[in-house]
A and B are shown apart, each in its own frame.
Chain A
Amino acid sequence: MTERRPIRLIVNGRAHEVSLPPNTTLLTALRDLGCTDAKNGCEQGECGACAVLLDGEPMNSCMILAWQADGARITTNAGLGTLERPHPIQEAFADAGAIQCGFCTSGMVIATKALLDRNPDPTEAEIRDALSGNLCRCTGYGQIAAAVHLAAERLRNLPSWSASSASEDGQEPAFKKRVLASDDVTGEGGRS
């Protein structure tokens, strides 16, 4: 617990230098940094609500230690779009009725982003395969799969949003650097 190490987390285009003990998960670190759109549903890698992109790859952030993400580019759902400028995937989820309680949604959107980045025109089976690590207790998944189809279609028809040109770090162009003293990172998770 006492051994801390300074690491650099580049989250949604912003670099954070934080000092963390070895047992802090990336999920806890992200939530301490205010990225509460990454949800803690189980902390055991079972539900996918904490999924983020780590250098473009979808990961359950509860299953990675923050140290392992040192220097990596991390994208959370909130890094993809905003209320004023939602990402087409986010908009598709809203339009397709794919959102009920919303607790799984950030993880679902991240899993969808990872899928469409490598496969812009997925089949139903490919969609279900890509989302198989994300649990939803509300929808029965049908409208979620429909949202992925809708997002894929919209992205294919919107070159400016195509997977190849979209920044993995989302819509924040500015690369702001914020240095946190280690003691600042106790508010959210409260890990000492």
Chain B
Amino acid sequence: MDDVQPKPLPEVNLPDLNQVGKPLRRVDALGKAVGATVYAADFTMPNMLHAKVLRSDRPHARIVRLDPSQAKALDGVACVLTGDDVKGAKLNTDLPGQTGREARSGSDAPVLALDTVRYVGEPIALVAAETLDLAEEALRLIDVEYEDLPAVFDPEEAMKPGAPILFEPDNVVSRYTIRKGDLDAGMAEADLVVESTFRMPFVEHAYLEPDAGVAWVDEQGVINIRVATQVVEHFRSIARALGVPQNRIRIRGTMVGGGFGSKEDITVEIFLAFLTRETGRPVKLVYTREEAFLATSKRHPFTITHRTGVKKDGRITASQIEMVADSGAYPYLTPYVLLYATGMATGPYKIDNVRIDSVAAATNQTFTSAFRGFGGPQAALGYEQQMDEIARALDLDPLEVRRANYMASGDTTCTGQEVSSAVWSEECATRVLAALGDRTPDSPTRRIGRGLANTFQSYGRIMWFHDTSRAWVGVELDGTVVIRCGVPDIGAGQSNSVCQIAAEILGVPLDRVTIYATDSAVTPLAGTSTATRQLYMSGNAVYSAASKIRARLARRAAEYIGVSEENILLENSRAIVTDDPSRFIELDALAKMCAAEGIELSHLAQFNAPFTDGLDPETGQGDIWPDFTFGAVAVEIAVDIETGQIDLLKCAASHDVGRAINPAAVQGQIAGGTHQGLGYALLEEFVLEEGRIRTPSLAEYMIPTIFDFPETDVIILESGTGVGPFGAKGIGEPALTPAAPAVANAVADALGIRIPELPFTPKRVLEAVVEAREKRTL
């Protein structure tokens, strides 16, 4: 993989635009820079109460007695709620937002445990009091008596006969089967079969902003909840849990201080809704850091086994994959995370004969759910480590093995879904390898390793969810632009992107656009800020709404100036005659003219993703996602064989983002996502022992500091072939996916043997050094 030349790019003619494609200062940047942005925990209300949550300290137990009477009697305590008080309300955890599919029978998480707790951290009771100190004191006065039940902490153990059952009839939460081509024939054709097993740990999102919210009942009796969330559409689930109509719950999202999938599930808002309804007073709930670790989801641990049939030249003839995922105590989004991992299990490669069997099982551990990549990174840790194992078994260059198998546009994934956009896997891979430059020489105690990973990751939701987004765009009489769109901004630039799109289409500078976002009552619902979908979905909705207004403005301007509509260009807050810029009308004058004549200056647009019906239940064949983003990461590392310490020396990341709406924001997504992936490989492990957390703080759970890794060399490619506005593809999740497998491959390159389990801590590395010496690979 040394001395690689970048593969020439296919010719692409992207139009030069005024706003889109420019690294402009994001619309949300200055407010955050000066500390003016107000986050969920910063709000207070008059007469406000403070809430705390009592949580289980047992992994699996029956609640024999739960007596809140002493807590209720404490002066200053306004209310204590238990499972009985919320009448067994459950969180509809299988799917946030927009559809109403039934969960696996009975396995939805209760808002408050009724008679059984299934993980350490499960909520049991809520307190609202005049002060936070009083609320904490009241928690200590709630008397809970448990009877411990047998518990299970491993998904494979959980599926064995006789294992403790979390939900009848068994612990299996979800299962997928993929059958493509003829596996046996493909294996028979192979010169060699390579088999490997890889394991990945629980990982914590470690967003900087602990979960927070404030709720109150307004003068209409509507429950308002101001909360840091990725999903304002949770008002539907909350209404169902409370037994009130959906139009009686209003979610007012805030700027989110990092989500990464964790704030996709309901967090504090459901507790706040019950407490404010019960007390009639505003209530605030802010998790401590430890509670944010204890009470929210984790990335799924996976064990992935690949059995791959290959020809001597590296071509794959058959791929058999088994996956086992840990769902934790409740399903939440596990069925869909498993589907993502399964549907992307064979990577960006053309493989005709595939058999995949994947399963997720419940254990008495912190529940697992969405985390940036949503199963895609685990799948990639499987297929990309396996590609290098194939290369090692065949004594081929890892890049050559990949070249022999890269899918091209028009080829199909393991579910038979045709990839219709550009596939620039090799373009990305050759660029990141070239970016590493000269190889650092080994020293007696430091072994240098290089690793490459090529990945693909979907953007947009599963198509049988029938995903939609809405946006309202309007031009004011002074020529400024307003967007109303319920898009939650979780820091990735979701709101800025749609502003840049509207600015481009309506021909105004970005600072002439204002967005109102994230309010389920007053901004048109835009769907979740998850699944790398907002640029694609809400970007297209804004594109559509702005284009409608643009057409009306152009028509009226053409009539006014006396040219045909096609000759009008909106630029610099003017409607200009394309071939004679001296003839124009200012946008504000045009807007006033339209207003006076009753020409609509606003438009509400809805964008619908493609709708499908789901996979074939027997073969798992069918289309899952709207499109994919392809990318690669290459790293160079140094392994200290005396201490086990790994130093990352160089890192390069390249993705085809279709079209970079804001290149500075894209760079931030790629650099930040890569960093998270590097942490996954080298630092981060959320350790549970018998269901109890051993890494409850940022001192024990190590996320990367500014010291840990060098800056990533970010190489942005633009094929212009995405299904987002201006040919954009999504980059939020795809940015993370290739980093960890690239590191894994570099470690294996340095040691000559593979450490099968992440993260590559000094202890694991030293054990591997001993093994490598025994095997004489080092």
Using Cβ atoms and an 8 Å threshold, which residues of chain A touch B50?
190
Using Cβ atoms and an 8 Å threshold, which residues of chain A touch B33?
86, 90-91, 93-94, 99, 102, 105, 109
Could you say which of A53-61, A65-73, A135-143, A159-167 contacts chain B? Answer: A135-143
Asked if B215 is at the interface (CB within 8 A of a chain A CB), the reply is: no
Q: Tell which of B133, B288, B671, B711 touches A43, judged by Cβ atoms closer than 8 Å.
A: B288
**Given A97-B667, A135-B698, A143-B671, also A44-B32 (CB < 8 A):** no
Q: Tell which of B25, B132, B207, B284 touches A137, judged by Cβ atoms closer than 8 Å.
A: B207
Are A142 and B712 neighbours in the complex by a CB distance under 8 Å?
A: yes
Asked if B759 is at the interface (CB within 8 A of a chain A CB), the reply is: no
Using Cβ atoms and an 8 Å threshold, which residues of chain B touch A86?
30, 33-34
Asked if B206 is at the interface (CB within 8 A of a chain A CB), the reply is: yes
Using Cβ atoms and an 8 Å threshold, which residues of chain B touch A190?
48, 50, 130-133, 135, 284
Q: Within residues 234 to 271 of chain B, which ones have a CB less than 8 A from any CB in chain A?
A: 255-260
**Given A41-B208, A102-B28, A137-B208, also A46-B711 (CB < 8 A):** no
Asked if B618 is at the interface (CB within 8 A of a chain A CB), the reply is: no
Shortest A55–chain B CB gap in Å is: 20
How would you classify the secondary structure of chain A's contact residues: helix, strand, loop or mixed?
loop
**Given A42-B697, A93-B29, also A47-B133 (CB < 8 A):** no
How many Å lie between the Cα of A39 and that of B212 in the bound state? 12
**Given A105-B32, A189-B132, also A99-B208 (CB < 8 A):** no
Shortest A95–chain B CB gap in Å is: 6
Using Cβ atoms and an 8 Å threshold, which residues of chain A touch B38?
36
Q: Within residues 61 to 114 of chain A, which ones have a CB less than 8 A from any CB in chain B?
A: 76-78, 80-83, 86-87, 90-91, 93-97, 99-106, 109
Using Cβ atoms and an 8 Å threshold, which residues of chain A touch B260?
137
How many Å lie between the Cα of A47 and that of B697 in the bound state? 10
Using CB atoms, name the residue of chain A closest to B258. Answer: A101
How many Å lie between the Cα of A94 and that of B288 in the bound state? 29
Using Cβ atoms and an 8 Å threshold, which residues of chain B touch A99?
26, 28-29, 32-33
Q: Within residues 281 to 300 of chain B, which ones have a CB less than 8 A from any CB in chain A?
A: 284, 286, 288-289
Q: Tell which of B37, B48, B490 touches A187, judged by Cβ atoms closer than 8 Å.
A: B48
Are A101 and B34 neighbours in the complex by a CB distance under 8 Å?
A: no
Asked if B451 is at the interface (CB within 8 A of a chain A CB), the reply is: no
Q: Contact size class for A?
A: 35 or more
Are B30 and A145 neighbours in the complex by a CB distance under 8 Å?
A: no
Asked if B41 is at the interface (CB within 8 A of a chain A CB), the reply is: yes
Are B44 and A187 neighbours in the complex by a CB distance under 8 Å?
A: yes
Q: Contact size class for B?
A: 35 or more
Shortest B290–chain A CB gap in Å is: 9
Are B668 and A41 neighbours in the complex by a CB distance under 8 Å?
A: no
Are A103 and B706 neighbours in the complex by a CB distance under 8 Å?
A: no
Mark A127-153 against chain B: 1 for CB-CB distance below 8 A, else 0: 010011011111111111100000000
Most buried by A among B32, B48, B709: B32
**Given A99-B33, A101-B258, also A39-B208 (CB < 8 A):** yes
Using Cβ atoms and an 8 Å threshold, which residues of chain A touch B205?
137
Q: Tell which of A100, A138, A145, A187 touches B706, judged by Cβ atoms closer than 8 Å.
A: A145
Shortest B679–chain A CB gap in Å is: 9
Are A131 and B706 neighbours in the complex by a CB distance under 8 Å?
A: yes
How many Å lie between the Cα of A46 and that of B667 in the bound state? 27
Using Cβ atoms and an 8 Å threshold, which residues of chain A touch B25?
94-95
Are A46 and B697 neighbours in the complex by a CB distance under 8 Å?
A: yes
**Given A81-B34, A93-B29, A192-B130, also A101-B210 (CB < 8 A):** no
Using Cβ atoms and an 8 Å threshold, which residues of chain A touch B491?
100-103, 138
Asked if B31 is at the interface (CB within 8 A of a chain A CB), the reply is: yes
Using Cβ atoms and an 8 Å threshold, which residues of chain A touch B131?
186, 190-192
Shortest A23–chain B CB gap in Å is: 9
How would you classify the secondary structure of chain B's contact residues: helix, strand, loop or mixed?
loop
**Given A36-B38, A142-B711, also A97-B26 (CB < 8 A):** yes
Using Cβ atoms and an 8 Å threshold, which residues of chain B touch A100?
258, 491-493, 668, 672
Using CB atoms, name the residue of chain B closest to A28. Answer: B132
Shortest B760–chain A CB gap in Å is: 19
Asked if A25 is at the interface (CB within 8 A of a chain B CB), the reply is: no
Asked if B523 is at the interface (CB within 8 A of a chain A CB), the reply is: no
Q: Tell which of A83, A91, A144 touches B31, judged by Cβ atoms closer than 8 Å.
A: A83
Asked if B134 is at the interface (CB within 8 A of a chain A CB), the reply is: yes
Using Cβ atoms and an 8 Å threshold, which residues of chain A touch B676?
137
How many Å lie between the Cα of A1 and that of B134 in the bound state? 11
How many Å lie between the Cα of A179 and that of B709 in the bound state? 47
Using Cβ atoms and an 8 Å threshold, which residues of chain B touch A97?
23, 26, 29, 664-665, 667-668
Using Cβ atoms and an 8 Å threshold, which residues of chain A touch B32?
94, 99, 102, 105
Mark B13-50 against chain A: 1 for CB-CB distance below 8 A, else 0: 00000000001011011111111111101101000101
Asked if B468 is at the interface (CB within 8 A of a chain A CB), the reply is: no
Asked if A188 is at the interface (CB within 8 A of a chain B CB), the reply is: yes
Shortest B254–chain A CB gap in Å is: 11
Are B705 and A140 neighbours in the complex by a CB distance under 8 Å?
A: no
Using Cβ atoms and an 8 Å threshold, which residues of chain A touch B698?
41-42, 44, 46-47, 135
Q: Tell which of B23, B208, B704 touches A49, judged by Cβ atoms closer than 8 Å.
A: B208
Shortest B62–chain A CB gap in Å is: 34
Using CB atoms, name the residue of chain B closest to A101. Answer: B491
Shortest A90–chain B CB gap in Å is: 4
Asked if B703 is at the interface (CB within 8 A of a chain A CB), the reply is: yes
Using Cβ atoms and an 8 Å threshold, which residues of chain B touch A109?
33, 35
Asked if B12 is at the interface (CB within 8 A of a chain A CB), the reply is: no
Are B26 and A39 neighbours in the complex by a CB distance under 8 Å?
A: no
Using Cβ atoms and an 8 Å threshold, which residues of chain A touch B258?
100-101, 103, 137-138
Using CB atoms, name the residue of chain A closest to B711. Answer: A142
Q: Within residues 698 to 745 of chain B, which ones have a CB less than 8 A from any CB in chain A?
A: 698-699, 703-707, 709, 711-712
Using Cβ atoms and an 8 Å threshold, which residues of chain A touch B28?
99, 102
Shortest A1–chain B CB gap in Å is: 7
Are A78 and B36 neighbours in the complex by a CB distance under 8 Å?
A: yes
Q: Tell which of B210, B668, B711 touches A40, judged by Cβ atoms closer than 8 Å.
A: B210
Using Cβ atoms and an 8 Å threshold, which residues of chain B touch A87?
34
Are A101 and B255 neighbours in the complex by a CB distance under 8 Å?
A: yes
Asked if B209 is at the interface (CB within 8 A of a chain A CB), the reply is: yes
Using CB atoms, name the residue of chain A closest to B44. Answer: A187
How many Å lie between the Cα of A167 and that of B135 in the bound state? 41
Are B256 and A101 neighbours in the complex by a CB distance under 8 Å?
A: yes
Using Cβ atoms and an 8 Å threshold, which residues of chain A touch B26?
94, 97, 99
How many Å lie between the Cα of A43 and that of B287 in the bound state? 11
How many Å lie between the Cα of A128 and that of B705 in the bound state? 9
Are B493 and A103 neighbours in the complex by a CB distance under 8 Å?
A: no
Asked if A168 is at the interface (CB within 8 A of a chain B CB), the reply is: no
Mark B662-693 against chain A: 1 for CB-CB distance below 8 A, else 0: 00110110011111100000000000000000
Q: Tell which of A77, A83, A143, A188 touches B30, judged by Cβ atoms closer than 8 Å.
A: A83
Using Cβ atoms and an 8 Å threshold, which residues of chain B touch A169?
none
Using CB atoms, name the residue of chain B closest to A125. Answer: B707
Using CB atoms, name the residue of chain A closest to B32. Answer: A102
How many Å lie between the Cα of A36 and that of B44 in the bound state? 11
Using Cβ atoms and an 8 Å threshold, which residues of chain A touch B493?
100
How many Å lie between the Cα of A190 and that of B281 in the bound state? 15
**Given A101-B255, A104-B208, also A192-B697 (CB < 8 A):** no
How many Å lie between the Cα of A145 and that of B674 in the bound state? 17
How many Å lie between the Cα of A120 and that of B386 in the bound state? 49
Q: Tell which of A77, A101, A138, A188 touches B35, judged by Cβ atoms closer than 8 Å.
A: A77
Shortest A104–chain B CB gap in Å is: 5
Using Cβ atoms and an 8 Å threshold, which residues of chain B touch A81?
34
8 nearest interchain CB pairs?
A101-B491, A37-B35, A102-B32, A103-B257, A140-B675, A97-B664, A36-B42, A140-B671
**14 more A-B residue pairs beyond the given contacts A137-B676, A145-B711, with a C-beta to C-beta distance below 8 A:** A39-B39, A43-B289, A44-B289, A46-B699, A97-B665, A99-B26, A101-B257, A101-B490, A102-B257, A135-B698, A137-B208, A138-B672, A140-B709, A190-B284
20 contacts between A and B (CB under 8 A): A1-B133, A36-B38, A36-B41, A37-B36, A39-B209, A77-B34, A80-B34, A100-B491, A100-B492, A101-B208, A102-B31, A103-B207, A105-B35, A135-B705, A137-B205, A137-B676, A140-B711, A143-B667, A143-B671, A145-B711
